[in-house]
């Protein structure tokens, strides 16, 4: 393992306890988000493959969305009144919680009506709402920066697929900078914490390999494809 990675992880562990978040809230948000993600993955599969008519897929997506809505409703009812310290200065706190709940409910209704594309957009919007909730209160969680890294890697792969290699290469510096932000973000306060930390060196090495592919004129597509697989795994652990 490279020394910079040792330093970054040491900084993570040193600063994690000082992060102004409510541990129990983070865990409840994580649980709800995992069901949201499961619903989103099913919706995405339906949109990509065109198998929206299969009842099993619909039932699975509706069930996951319902679980996410129930869990989020419970945490919203609890924390809208008993505001965690880190969010106490946010005048829109209660409304932010309600906005997320409303959007999850909308996604569930869209799935039940076979409105798959709107449901996919609602899913993406919900993720952004939660990230904005953190940003508005001066917080940066592992899942937030991993979401940014995931988007940038996906965008770079899309540019390569569209035969725009120069634009894809131009994103490498941004991906490197986002990787550094991931290393310095506090790890998730969930059961996946240790596994997440263990996965960071592999993630970092994969980003470095992608950068070397650009510098060496090697196969950037292959490097990005490998990176995307690792990013998905670490993103899942960060939730």
Question: Residue 28 sits in which domain range?
Answer: 22-135
- Rounded to 5 degrees, what angle do the CA atoms 232, 237, 239 make? 100
Neighbours of 78 (CB within 10 A): 13
Q: What is the pTM of this model?
A: 0.83
Q: How far apart are CA 179 and CA 200, in angstroms?
A: 9
Cα separations in angstroms, 87 against 47, 83, 162, 171 = 36, 6, 42, 33
131 plus 155 within the same structural domain: no
123 with 173, same domain: the answer is: no
Q: What does the alpha-carbon distance between residue 142 and residue 29 come to, in Å, rounded to a whole number?
A: 13
CA Rg value for the chain: 19
Q: Would 74 be classed as within a structural domain?
A: yes
DSSP state of 159: H
Number of domains in the chain: 2
Taking the C-alpha atoms of residue 129 and residue 68, their distance in angstroms, rounded to an integer, is: 15
pLDDT of residue 5: 47
Residue 17 in any domain: the answer is: no
Are residue 217 and residue 234 in the same domain, yes or no?
yes
How high is the mean pLDDT in each 10-residue block of the chain (239 residues)?
45 42 84 95 84 76 96 96 92 96 96 92 92 92 94 96 93 97 93 95 97 92 97 96
Instruction: Report pLDDT for 217.
Output: 86
In a shared domain, residues 149 and 207: yes
Looking at the fold, whether 87 and 44 belong to one and the same domain comes out as yes
Point out the domain boundary residue: 78, 103, 135: 135
User: In which residue are the tokens 């106490």 written?
Assistant: 88
CA 232/CA 201 separation, integer angstroms: 15
Which of 135, 160, 179 is where one domain is finished?
A: 135
pLDDT at 45: 84
The CATH number assigned to the domain holding 193 equals 1.20.120
Token digits of residue 130: 């939660």
Calculated CA dihedral for residues 105, 111, 117, 118, nearest 10 degrees: -30
Instruction: Assess contact for 206 and 234: CB atoms under 8 A.
Output: no
Residue 34 placed within a domain: yes
Tell me: do 118 and 153 sit in the same domain.
no
Pick the last residue of a domain from 135, 162, 188.
Answer: 135
150 plus 234 within the same structural domain: yes
pLDDT for residue 136 = 94
Shared-domain flag, residues 81 and 168 = no
Q: How far apart are CA 16 and CA 219, in angstroms?
A: 37
């Amino acid at each position: 393992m490279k020394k910079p990675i040792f330093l970054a992880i040491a900084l993570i562990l040193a600063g994690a306890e000082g992060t102004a978040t409510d541990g129990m809230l983070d865990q409840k948000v994580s649980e709800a988000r995992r069901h949201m993600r499961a619903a989103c993955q099913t919706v995405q599969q339906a949109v990509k493959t065109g198998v929206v008519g299969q009842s099993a897929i619909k039932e699975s997506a509706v069930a996951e969305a319902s679980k996410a809505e129930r869990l989020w409703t419970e945490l919203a009812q609890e924390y809208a009144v008993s505001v965690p310290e880190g969010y106490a200065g946010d005048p829109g706190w209660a409304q932010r919680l309600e906005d997320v709940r409303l959007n999850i409910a909308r996604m569930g209704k869209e799935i039940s009506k076979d409105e798959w594309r709107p449901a996919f957009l609602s899913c993406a919007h919900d993720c952004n709402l939660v990230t904005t909730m953190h940003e508005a209160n001066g917080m940066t969680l592992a899942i937030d920066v991993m979401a940014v890294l995931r988007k940038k890697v996906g965008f770079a792969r899309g540019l390569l697929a569209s035969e725009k290699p120069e634009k894809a290469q131009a994103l490498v510096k941004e991906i490197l900078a986002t990787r550094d932000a991931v290393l310095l973000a506090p790890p998730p306060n969930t059961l996946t914490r240790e596994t997440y930390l263990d996965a960071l060196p592999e993630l970092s090495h994969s980003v470095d390999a992608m950068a070397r592919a650009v510098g060496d004129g090697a196969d950037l597509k292959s490097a990005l494809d490998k990176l995307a697989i690792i990013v998905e795994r670490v993103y899942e652990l960060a939730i």
